[in-house]
Structure 1
Amino acid sequence: MLLLTCSAAALTAGSMPTAAATPDETTTPARSEGSPRAYQVGEEQVADVRIDYAARTARQVISRPGSSYVKVHFAALALADGDRVTVSDPTGAEVHTYSGDPTKGEAAATDSLHTRQGSGFWALSITGDTAVVTLHRAGRAPSTSDTGVVVDKYFRGYSKAEQAQRDLGILSVCQTDARRDSVCYQQSHPTEYGKSRSVAKILYNGASHCTAWRLGSTNRLMTNNHCIGTASQLASMEMWFDYACATCGGNNPKPAVKVTGAQFLKTSANLDYTLFSVNNFASIESFGYLLLDVRAPVRNERIYITGHGDGDPNELSIFEDTQGGATCDVDNPNSDSINMGYYCDTSGGSSGSPVLAASSNKVIALHHLGGCLNEGTRIELIYPEIKDLIDNGGGTPPPPPPGGKFENTNNVTIADSPGAAVTSDVVVTGQPGNAPSTLKVNVDIKHTWRGDVVIDLVAPDGSAYRLKNSSSSDSADNVIVTYTVNASTEVANGTWKLKVQDVARYDTGYIDAWSLQY
């Protein structure tokens, strides 16, 4: 066996079980994935990190030596206008910026993505064992309500040594582990390598992980239902694209491109799939996408798998046992009513990986079970349930979701400070489901000193999204801007409000018009 991975040591192999796994199997050998589940790769830690405006230092470090990542939770974030907090690695190569609490509508449209699980919010994770939390001041005096930063907990990823201690054996590796870093195949198998770039690691609830991949040219991703089963679970997810070794066998994964879940589109517990979209889709478009091979698998046809087993940087499983030996193939095209079986190596965290037919380089199964045979749901069964939601390369992509423009052109006078905030309503009707993750808010406000103005978008349920903070140095006239808001957790239909307040004296203005573009 030749096992080259940038983050995993060589693993010992045991005997190969002969029984296929099933979702309710309870006597699976230790080396089998058994019932579908997300693979735990980290744990939550309690913290008491505070940076207030009276603090002597504006920088705090959260570190657990050897950890693979750190993901910080903000219990409170209340900043003066113009201030911001960053979460970064010690070198500044990875930086996430927040100017306000997004759960209270205080974040700017340019703030970094975040995830939600319970109260407060979670910053995007930092790869490595150290996260640096820094308060950056713009110079304005804080108000009594500007209390600064409170971090009450964080997730940290297990080191490889800790993972090895927790593992009972190699999950779903049949005989010897022939997987290699995807970059190892860049020259010898360029097509397979190219397909691996469309695959992402899922960080689930900060402590577990699975695999997902881009499906078609539009904003669609697929994984297992047992990885993402509900919209609330999707809100806690990060997807790491381009998380792969730079060189074959080197301990040098690239900085990942991290995005978060947006719309929960379709799922099936029986077929164990979920279709969803992500925020900041433009940042991952360059990694390409996969298409579906909608047909019955054929016994002995060659296949390969690409994914993030054990949470490692991307690996390819092309050979069954040894490099240059027998290639992965379909060993049982109908291992039960929904699955096909294979001895191609996977491990905990490979759930959601695409199984590709070498003849077409398209996805023929969705991996979700281990046990040697390992198993994946046949794509021919999934496709009929999602065909109207995806572009499978058949020519014309599916039409975009029903959209529309909803506008209010009635003028609303903005009271000079210390007057109360004013609102202007737009009523949205006929839109299915939730608002989009790229909701366009077109604002036209006439004002003689726009730096005085604070603007919020208020959703039908009362949730507020900060569009603009005040700025004492911005003396220009008028606010004529289109903001992009991730409103995917809000019901689309209902009364939306543009809330505007003048927070400094002497200058006046009015809301001329505003609109929502779906």
Structure 2
Amino acid sequence: MKKRLLSVLLLSTLVVTCLAMNPDHAGDVVPLQKGIFDNRMADVQSRSGDQALWSHVIEVPGAKFVKLYFENYHLMAGDMLEIRDASGIVRQRIMSSGPAGAAEFWSLTIPGETVILQITSATDYIKRYAFSITKAFKGTMAFFALPEPTESDCGGLPQASPYRSAWCYSPGEQFENAAMWQNAQATVGVLTIGSYGGGTWCSGSLVSSQNYVITNQHCIETISDCANTEFVFNYYRTTCEENIGGEDPVVTQGYYCDSTDSNTYFNNSFGSCTSTGLDDLDYAFCHVLLNGPDPAPSTVYTPLEMELDHQAIVDTEDIYIVGHPQGNARVISEGILDFTGDYSLHYICDTRGGSSGSPVYSRATNRMIGLHHCGGCTSSSDRNRGMFITQIRADIDSHGNFFAPAPQLVFESITHSDQVGGNDDGYFDPGETIHVTAVISNAGNLASTEGSLVVSSTSPSVSIPVSSFTISALDPHVEANSTTVEFEYSLDSFMECGAAFDINLALSYDGKVASANSEFHTGHLANPGSPIDETAADLPLPITDNNTTVSYITVDTGTDVVGTVNEVQVDITHTYIGDLTVTLTSPGGVAATLHNRTGGTTDDLHVIYGDGTGGTTTPVQSLDMLTGQVASGTWSLTVNDGAGGDTGELTNWRLNFTPVELQCGSTLPAFTIGSVQAVYGDSITVSLTMEQDLANFGFDVLYDPGKIKYTGFSPGASAGCTNATVTLESPGVIHVVANCPSQIMAGQLFGDLNFDVTGLTGETPISAANLVLDLQSKIYGQGILSLPETVDLCTVPEAYYYNMLWSPYFNDPDVDVDKDGVFTILDFISRMNCPL
């Protein structure tokens, strides 16, 4: 049974990610109004007790529902982000570094076009960054009415009863049935928002106390699809009605699909609705991500446990199906089993698009006998169809025991902080030491034995001093019995600003592995500039059969990167645009497909691609994939003609984007530098005393080799950093790297830079009272910071220079002030008149 595209707004805070076969368009990924949303909480807007409250409202005009994309998400310990809809209902709560420590992720679904963000904080967030929101998914209703011919109602056949809201079977209602009501509570919606910009809707069931959900494989095809799926629990109406529409007053509960779980299994779907064997049972067995403040679903809803019905299945026996047809609130349809095949059940019982993955129950035993997957009810040779649950259960059992009590260790929260080992700006910068706090608890229903936690990174620029930890045995569902692991990792000071790195946690226990893998980037995007608008100058260019045409635009924005691609205008004359694929490629090689062989026989392509507003057209792939990419260099527009018989011409294309700065906070320690006085020929020392606690940093000292000469570095006795390396890269450049085993504390001496003042030699007069020694510290990837140091030099009147030599003191090193090998009036005046 094919998936029905999401047709109603899902009110949920539980999300599981799964991708559908041939997904239909459900909405668009759009940039936010300012392109980049950085929530620098410079002022606490209100307070409640000891907690500081910060809030912000985001509007996505015209959206039926919204999902926000978070990047570099890392709250401090004890802090929480609440996401509310326009009515104030909390739709999601997020702690630490996001679901399973994923610092980049989509939020759960928020109904309507208004999203309210609120942070409850243990401390004031003054001048601290917590995350960036770079784009939103704008859900639409256009996909609601798309036909699904392979899933169908039964055309009024008398064996099929009308749809009834599940509430009709609850205590005190007209069709009260305790077993049917309990089974209905285990049914979930399966909402997928894929990276392609579309959405699909299926049904599923919670079938294990170990928190596994089953649905069709054609709803969740792969483990990577799971990363974009939402499981929606508690989605029902509180009125008894014989239809599938109506408003839903119940606040639903959503969870993410756990793409990190190694015990997720898929059994292939098949192109037609006729199974050919046990290798195409069309099921996906997925774990629910247990993370954050929400309870495990098995502690709230009674799982089915896929208990097998040992009674023989007979034709014409009564059955019922619980699901979410067309993405609506939970309904139950009743009917009969018409006949069985070798691998599937055939029944007269209403289904629609969105019913895929629904459980099929025996009315007599209230046990699950099938997994609905295909339609065609009015065809007497086919009917609506589902796979035998006995065959699915046997296949799942071959992989392990998922239906008995078991421990389930989860990461309650994972917090990454640069508060102590960095500059405390909430972003990760080169040279910082990041402190991580991971809280682990047992969400299962059986005590765990002793386990282990291993921390790793595939990034060569990340060092983890202590990476292995023992995890004590944990009782189930005991919050006070959670365990906390703290560790640190350091970022090399030579990392480029904007570089990606990962931190991976593997929790091993009782033969299982729970993972939390996070990817971060150093720095952040800030300070949008004026939009850049450039038009190609190498046009027109011919478009010939089965050939590729490329046009170029060169842009210079300095070190800025792409914030938002606002518009890409494309003008092509062609007699069959269904032959064409049009792609925009950034200077760094990241490509976004704008047009992909749609339009059929239509002539010509005159389009302005953008976010779908203001007369622009949404491209095949979102232009947001270019955010953060290198802006300066050569952009290209590639037009590929994939067939013969029609030709044309690329007549014009234009690029408009907003550049932003890629910024990294300074990891250079603030230094206190002592004052220096000298005359030419003297030695001077520049002492660098720490003004903050840091362990890892790197910088270059730039000086004028024509005025002073570097003679060496003396490490500070109290710094505790004996492995700092200070090298003379070239005359005028001193390279400093400090990777210390522990922090150098504020007030401690990092070390002394030593110089000789050798700028004026021979008989050249000193004509200025002061020489400014400008020590410039170049942070890797960040530009230059200056540490000016004034060297006071004596004034020597130029007239004295021409007087006689003082022969009695000739070549006396004690009085040869300027070290030129001779004693002159210059030396005498300097010695006598300088206040040294």
Q: What band does the TM-score fall into relative to the shorter chain?
A: 0.5 to 0.7
Match of 1:330 in 2: 337
**Cα 1:38–1:308, aligned 2, differ >3 Å: closer, same or farther?**
farther
3-state SS of paired residue (2:465): strand
Measure how far apart 1:89 and its partner are. Answer: 0.9
Match of 2:363 in 1: 358
Measure how far apart 1:66 and its partner are. Answer: 6.5
**Cα 1:157–1:196, aligned 2, differ >3 Å: closer, same or farther?**
farther
**Is 1:488–2:515 an aligned residue pair?**
yes
Q: 2 CA distance for matches of 1:92 and 1:344?
A: 39
**Is 1:423–2:465 an aligned residue pair?**
yes
**Is 1:231–2:251 an aligned residue pair?**
no
Q: 1 CA distance for matches of 2:150 and 2:112?
A: 24
3-state SS of paired residue (1:255): coil
Given that 1:38 and 1:349 are in contact with CA atoms closer than 8 Å, whether structure 2 keeps it comes out as no
**Cα 1:365–1:81, aligned 2, differ >3 Å: closer, same or farther?**
closer
Match of 2:207 in 1: 215
Given that 1:44 and 1:153 are in contact with CA atoms closer than 8 Å, whether structure 2 keeps it comes out as no
Measure how far apart 1:268 and its partner are. Answer: 1.0
Match of 2:127 in 1: 142
Q: 2 CA distance for matches of 1:142 and 1:256?
A: 35
Match of 1:255 in 2: 251
Match of 2:136 in 1: 154
Mapping for residues 283-322 of structure 1, pairs under 5 Å: 283-290=297-304, 291-294=306-309, 297-318=313-334
Please tell me the residue identity of whatever aligns with 1:275: F
3-state SS of paired residue (2:339): coil
- Among 46, 57, 61, the residue aligned to 1:60: 57
Measure how far apart 1:422 and its partner are. Answer: 7.3
Given that 1:215 and 1:289 are in contact with CA atoms closer than 8 Å, whether structure 2 keeps it comes out as yes
**Cα 1:271–1:44, aligned 2, differ >3 Å: closer, same or farther?**
same
Measure how far apart 1:490 and its partner are. Answer: 5.7
**Cα 1:282–1:501, aligned 2, differ >3 Å: closer, same or farther?**
farther
Q: Which has the higher strand share?
A: 2
**Is 1:387–2:397 an aligned residue pair?**
yes
Measure how far apart 1:51 and its partner are. Answer: 3.7
Q: 2 CA distance for matches of 1:45 and 1:277?
A: 27
Q: 2 CA distance for matches of 1:456 and 1:244?
A: 45
Please tell me the residue identity of whatever aligns with 2:321: I
Please tell me the residue identity of whatever aligns with 2:28: E
Measure how far apart 1:92 and its partner are. Answer: 2.4
Match of 1:516 in 2: none
Cα deviations by residue, 1:255-307 (Å, 9 ceiling, x for unpaired): 11111222343221111112222123624432212233355632111110001
Given that 1:239 and 1:260 are in contact with CA atoms closer than 8 Å, whether structure 2 keeps it comes out as yes
Match of 1:447 in 2: none
Match of 2:234 in 1: 242
3-state SS of paired residue (1:331): strand
Cα deviations by residue, 1:425-476 (Å, 9 ceiling, x for unpaired): 32789xxxxxxxx9x98448xxxxxxxxx75599xx95157xxxxxxxxxxx
Given that 2:190 and 2:230 are in contact with CA atoms closer than 8 Å, whether structure 1 keeps it comes out as yes
Match of 2:69 in 1: 73
Given that 1:51 and 1:59 are in contact with CA atoms closer than 8 Å, whether structure 2 keeps it comes out as no
Please tell me the residue identity of whatever aligns with 1:248: C
**Is 1:175–2:155 an aligned residue pair?**
yes
Match of 2:111 in 1: 127
Measure how far apart 1:200 and its partner are. Answer: 0.5
Match of 1:192 in 2: 180
3-state SS of paired residue (1:142): coil
**Cα 1:503–1:244, aligned 2, differ >3 Å: closer, same or farther?**
farther
**Is 1:205–2:197 an aligned residue pair?**
no
Q: 1 CA distance for matches of 2:465 and 2:187?
A: 44
Measure how far apart 1:330 and its partner are. Answer: 0.8
3-state SS of paired residue (1:166): coil
Measure how far apart 1:366 and its partner are. Answer: 0.5
**Cα 1:283–1:273, aligned 2, differ >3 Å: closer, same or farther?**
closer
**Cα 1:407–1:61, aligned 2, differ >3 Å: closer, same or farther?**
closer
- Among 44, 47, 50, the residue aligned to 2:37: 50
Please tell me the residue identity of whatever aligns with 2:26: G
Q: 1 CA distance for matches of 2:218 and 2:202?
A: 9
Measure how far apart 1:202 and its partner are. Answer: 1.0
Measure how far apart 1:218 and its partner are. Answer: 3.4
Q: 2 CA distance for matches of 1:282 and 1:80?
A: 24
Cα deviations by residue, 1:201-260 (Å, 9 ceiling, x for unpaired): 011136212111111443222111112232222222211111101222452341111112
Q: Which deviates further from its counterpart, 134-143 or 342-351?
A: 134-143
Given that 1:199 and 1:306 are in contact with CA atoms closer than 8 Å, whether structure 2 keeps it comes out as yes
Given that 1:38 and 1:208 are in contact with CA atoms closer than 8 Å, whether structure 2 keeps it comes out as no
Q: 2 CA distance for matches of 1:180 and 1:457?
A: 56
Q: 2 CA distance for matches of 1:170 and 1:179?
A: 18
Gaps of 5+ in 1: 1-6, 9-35, 103-112, 319-327, 409-419, 430-437, 445-453, 466-485, 492-499, 507-518
Please tell me the residue identity of whatever aligns with 1:386: I
Given that 2:148 and 2:353 are in contact with CA atoms closer than 8 Å, whether structure 1 keeps it comes out as no
Given that 1:41 and 1:311 are in contact with CA atoms closer than 8 Å, whether structure 2 keeps it comes out as no
Taking every aligned residue pair, what percent have the same amino acid on both sides?
24
Given that 1:200 and 1:240 are in contact with CA atoms closer than 8 Å, whether structure 2 keeps it comes out as yes
Name which structure has the greater RCO, CA cutoff 8 Å, separation 6+: 1
Q: 1 CA distance for matches of 2:125 and 2:106?
A: 26
Match of 1:16 in 2: none
**Cα 1:79–1:166, aligned 2, differ >3 Å: closer, same or farther?**
same
Q: 1 CA distance for matches of 2:61 and 2:744?
A: 43
Measure how far apart 1:311 and its partner are. Answer: 0.9
3-state SS of paired residue (1:218): coil
Gaps of 5+ in 2: 1-6, 9-19, 46-54, 269-279, 378-382, 409-446, 454-461, 472-478, 491-500, 506-512, 519-740, 748-836
Cα deviations by residue, 1:29-88 (Å, 9 ceiling, x for unpaired): xxxxxxx94875832331225144288995132334471x32111144466787654421
Measure how far apart 1:95 and its partner are. Answer: 4.2
Given that 1:215 and 1:221 are in contact with CA atoms closer than 8 Å, whether structure 2 keeps it comes out as yes
3-state SS of paired residue (1:310): helix
Given that 1:74 and 1:152 are in contact with CA atoms closer than 8 Å, whether structure 2 keeps it comes out as yes
Cα deviations by residue, 1:315-360 (Å, 9 ceiling, x for unpaired): 1011xxxxxxxxx1111211xx311111211111111110001121
Cα deviations by residue, 1:74-110 (Å, 9 ceiling, x for unpaired): 14446678765442112322143445544xxxxxxxx
